[in-house]
Chain A
Amino acid sequence: MRDVAIIGIGQTPVAEHWEIALRDLAVQAVQAALLDAQVERPQMLFVGNMLSAVLSGQQNLGALVADHAGLRGIEAFKVEAACASGAAAARIAYLAVAGGACEVALACGVEKMTDGGPDEATAALAGAADAEYEAEHGLSFVAINALLMQRYMHEYGYEHDDFAPFAINAHQNAAANPNAMFPRPITREQYLRARPIATPITLLDSSGIGDGAAAVVLASAEFAARLGGPLVRVAASAAATDAVALHDRREPLFLQGMSDSAQRAYAQAGITPADLDFFELHDAFTIMSALSLEACGFAPRGKGVALALDGEITRQGRLPICTLGGLKARGHPVGASGVYQIVEAVQQLRGQAGPNQLPGCRLGMAQSIGGSGANVITHILERVS
């Protein structure tokens, strides 16, 4: 396997894009990424998406996006791994370049969630869970995370209020991100007053439903070196799975797939968690942030929330997370989120994160989760000087 670099990034704002179709959202992100990379035509395109078949009645996104982006003829197809679809597309693009199948590959994550009503979107999202033995019982995806949160609070003795720092941090960081869906700080009082969706999870524990697309251009290190300019190397790309249904896991509160995925990434990059300057984690729900910090080795079991309560997850803390708003406040267009995370990590490493810039950062991790921990894809990116 050879070295791979990210040479271009593009993204649309996450919003309710009533005037922009699924295909056009993807094209906007693709064109922005190609322009940024100064590349006209990648050899391969992988489109990460979860819900297009259900909410837009559209499949075959590889060919559709390639055609509409002016890339008709290239190899292109859709990659699906529930909410981690975008990260999965990026990983396939990485494998294609690292394995020598092509010099330049494009990964685009796109999701159009507002073409269905909120209850349709909720039902479609439950497809990330076990359709026959979780969703069939009326469990929304929120409810599945709520079962984790309730048990976590019971086992480790936390109150719901203790999760507030995750939501507050995400919204604080989104405030300066022009692509964020909820660019407004929230107060602890607002967090405490939010209405419950599936107890104990409230609206402000949850990421919102929105539309968006993000894209990255990956190239071999030799190709990237010829371009000059800032270079961001893919130090690791790793993936792991766990049981899809929560009830099929031995220890529901320890996300084994997340731990395996992170450990594989650390080994590939030759680093330990302490070497990372920031972590774009999958904060679809506040409980997922806590479980991520624990499974990835930043906190012992039951102490992920404590890390947040100690202020260590803010941009001034020991391990800044969700530095441009995360899924919670940048927004979570599910199949696109994994690519947004990588785009934002590249922004930080290039020094293009605006008011949210982490000074001198060199090593960042982005981790995307499909389902309640069933499919976990981790990328570690490094600024090469």
Chain B
Amino acid sequence: MSIPSYWRSRQQRLALVGEVCPTCEAKLFPPRDVCPHCGGPAKTRFDFCGRGAIYSFSQVNAAPAGFEAYAPYMVALVALDEGPLLTAQLTDVDPEDVYIGMPVEMVTRQMRQEGEQGLIHYNYKFRPLLERVQG
């Protein structure tokens, strides 16, 4: 991914900023300008809460170029609390413990680095939902 394309999507990657359709109220992530559900214009910002549940998952053993050094790693489809599915890596979890339906939350993590002097890709990943301590 190039520096310009990374830069223009920084709000999605670092803060899960999506959109809500003003017509049918569908929450959209990643954002897009035309609502796929009703066809109306969708340009209203919506901040996702970052929590969801695992819809499906896989452990990637044979990684694409650029990700070899990180294999094996876990990837998942996450059903966000607000509705949409999203594709992301899982982190801070033992692969054996992952199951469909597992509650997870978004964290910001380093995804990869393009060599010594190259771009460091930060992005969302999901970890098991931590228990909140009251008081």
Chain A residues in contact with chain B, CB under 8 A? 117-120, 122-123, 126, 130-140, 142-143, 146-148, 150-151, 154, 195-201, 243, 245-248, 252
CA distance A137 to B100 in the complex (A): 19
Residue B77 is within 8 A (CB to CB) of chain A in the complex:
yes
Complex Cα spacing A12 to B10, Å: 46
Are A199 and B77 also in contact (CB < 8 A) when A119-B64, A138-B64 are?
Answer: no
Residues in chain A near residue B30, CB distance under 8 A: 132-133
- A sample of 19 more A-B contacts (CB under 8 A), given A146-B58, A198-B62, A200-B58, is A119-B68, A120-B65, A123-B64, A133-B30, A135-B64, A137-B88, A137-B111, A137-B123, A138-B112, A142-B62, A150-B58, A151-B56, A151-B100, A154-B56, A196-B61, A198-B58, A243-B36, A246-B85, A247-B77
B121 on the interface (CB 8 Å rule)?
A: yes
Known: A119-B63, A150-B100, A151-B56. A138 touches B111 (CB 8 A): yes
| Number of cross-chain contacts by CB at 8 Å | 113
Chain B binding surface SS class:
strand
Residues in chain A near residue B67, CB distance under 8 A: 138
B84 within 8 A of A: yes
| A123, A154, A243, A247: the one within 8 Å of B86 (CB) | A247
Q: Is A138 within 8 A of B60, CB to CB?
A: yes
State the Cβ distance, B129 to closest chain A Cβ, in Å.
Answer: 20
Which 9 A-B residue pairs are closest in the complex by CB-CB distance?
A: A146-B58, A123-B64, A151-B56, A247-B85, A123-B65, A138-B67, A147-B56, A119-B65, A199-B59
What range describes how many residues of B lie at the interface?
Answer: 35 or more
How long is the Cα–Cα vector from A147 to B89 in the complex, in angstroms? 12
Interface hub of B30, B60, B66, B100 (most chain A Cβ within 10 A): B60
**Chain A positions within 8 Å of B88 at CB level:** 137
A122 with B65: CB separation less than 8 A: yes
CA distance A187 to B27 in the complex (A): 47
Q: Check: B57 CB closer than 8 A to any chain A CB.
A: yes
Partner of A136, one of B1, B63, B65: B1
* Min C-beta distance of B95 to chain A, whole Å: 8
State whether B59 touches A133 (Cβ < 8 A). no
The answer, among B9, B58, B63, for a CB contact under 8 Å with A132, is B9
Give 19 CB contacts A-B under 8 Å: A117-B65, A119-B64, A123-B65, A130-B87, A132-B30, A136-B121, A137-B87, A137-B89, A139-B75, A143-B75, A148-B56, A150-B57, A151-B77, A154-B56, A199-B59, A246-B87, A247-B87, A248-B85, A252-B85
CA distance A198 to B89 in the complex (A): 13
Residue of A137, A154, A195, A198 near B59 (CB, 8 A) is A198
Q: Which of A120, A130, A138, A197 has the most chain B CB within a 10 Å cutoff?
A: A138
Closest to A134 in B: B87
Distance from A152 Cβ to chain B, minimum over Cβ atoms (Å): 9
Contacts of B87 in A (CB 8 A): 130, 133-134, 137, 139, 147, 245-247
